[in-house]
Chain A
């Protein structure tokens, strides 16, 4: 299983690419409210990048309940 730290590092790179912001620092407790410039289009781009990077398919109920980046990492771990 990929480690939490590895996924966090990969996600940080993904967010920096999509947000075009090299200073983004993700933490397990990061939420949309703490990430400047977050909107639905960027969220979709992040989801598409995650599905491609980990060869997984995300779906509704599991995504609807996510509260923060830590829970997103746990979801990726459980599916990959």
Chain B
């Protein structure tokens, strides 16, 4: 298979079965050479051309090259400085760790303290507290970089591409170390699968610390497409209007953004008519969200992309159209799709081969967790399949294969024991969703099973009716004793349900 249709010459003779994927930094510079005057980024603040972005990346690289194998911590908003600093870190033979600049200062401090970077790139308002956590780091104010010298030439490459810190169950962030070869493999899939093409205008809605932003930034800039940062408060509240204004062709976000568009009465054919692909990732996609999207955009394609940060953003993908999406739905769940080329999904430890913990094998696996060999050894383990030993990432996601398609069922660590019964919290949540309550969080409260449900204004919640409906779906012992409703489910910075905040909300209402 040769991808001669892709504009970048580095793909012209690329065959993923016989050669390594092209380097992401090289792809960007090749794209910049081909598209020098084209907008690399576009938005309310104006356009940044590929030439200007390359120049800025080279200026960041010149600053970073003052250290050997520079380790760069970025706390920047979406935009050309964040992109240039990421590219510059790679060009200078180093790697970067991005943080969400809107995170609480204490969280940013903890990450900087764990990383101990050589450089911190952040606006002046953040630098004092970050410097306190990483006293050896050199501070770089983005405003000062524009006037600096450029690093010329192809530069060097470190084996690590980036480190993304995710929330650890202990409260200490885990740094997931992604090798450059894994990033390159992922970028090649984005392009060869046609997720992003050179003519696309791609949203950048995801914050930098959420690894789906890698799809946005590298997927776009490594093929000569145009990135549209969605950074203003209004645009983030009314994303469909930003889609219409910016003529976005590829939209990427968590599925909750679709709910936000519905709440804002923006899920209309007029607003979304330019979008050829919705890539939804980061949390389970639900059938009602798909139905709403296809009702507004019957000609679009929706991709349900699944993957943990530990396997470089995406390892499986379900592409759906209005004509065939029901085939990928099982009750309210949507299949996570087949594995992407080069990756392998194995179901481990279940009662039969079509059910078990999902184990991921392949070139996109992380090296492990930053400075945490114990946790690395626990999650990345050898696994024997068909007589061969592989390095696998044990996801903790329990999945099921139905009619050949894989469906996410629950997190393994979401199992509790109540009055001697082992109960899978996500199974109970799925049953409640199937009863018409799409946003729900189930947890153990004291010695009982409890559920917090989102009940938007205008709806009436009837606990007795729900219990009656649940009795047809799950065992009596798995029906929650306690229910509480909230107008809006608590969600974290990445718009995923915040289980701790949901439990706290419940406890406040029913101590």
Q: Is the CB of B260 within 8 A of A41?
A: yes
- In the docked arrangement, what's the CA distance between A60 and B235, Å? 6
Residues of chain A lying within 8 A (CB to CB) of residue B487: 19-20, 37, 42
In whole angstroms, what is the CA distance A20 to B487 when docked? 8
- Determine the main DSSP class of A at the interface with B: helix
> Which residues on A sit within 8 Å (CB–CB) of B263?
41, 44-45, 48
Q: Is B232 an interface residue (CB 8 A)?
A: yes
User: With the chains together, A19 CA to B457 CA distance in Å?
Assistant: 8
Given the complex, which residues of A lie within 8 Å of B234, measured CB to CB?
Answer: 58-64
Chain B residue at smallest Cβ distance from A62: B234
Q: Is B61 an interface residue (CB 8 A)?
A: no
Q: How many residues of B contact A (CB 8 A)?
A: 19
Report if B154 contacts A (CB, 8 A).
no
Q: What band does the interface of chain A fall in when counting residues whose beta carbon is under 8 Å from B? A: 20 to 34
Residues of B within 8 A of A29 (CB): none
Q: How far is the CB of B264 from chain A (nearest CB, A)?
A: 4
Instruction: Please give, as numbers and ranges, the residues of chain B lying within 8 Å of A19 by CB-CB distance.
Output: 487
Q: Is the CB of B265 within 8 A of A42?
A: no
Q: In the complex where A18-B457, A41-B260, A48-B264 touch, is A60 in contact with B488 (Cβ < 8 A)?
A: no
- Given A20-B487, A42-B487 in contact, is the A48-B265 Cβ separation under 8 Å? yes
Residues of B within 8 A of A20 (CB): 457, 487
The answer, yes or no, to whether B233 is at the interface (CB within 8 Å) is: yes
Measured between alpha carbons, how far is A78 from B236 in the docked complex, in Å?
Answer: 23
B6 on the A face (CB < 8 A): no
A40 is an interface residue with CB less than 8 A from chain B: yes
Inter-chain contact A44/B260, CB cutoff 8 Å = yes
- Pick 6 A–B contacts, CB within 8 A, sort by A: A20-B487, A40-B260, A44-B264, A58-B234, A60-B234, A63-B232
Query: Can you add 20 more A-B contacts, CB < 8 Å, to A37-B487, A41-B263?
Result: A17-B457, A18-B457, A19-B487, A37-B488, A40-B260, A41-B259, A44-B237, A44-B264, A45-B457, A47-B237, A47-B238, A48-B265, A59-B234, A61-B44, A61-B232, A63-B232, A63-B233, A63-B234, A64-B232, A64-B234
3 A-B pairs with least C-beta separation: A63-B234, A60-B234, A44-B264
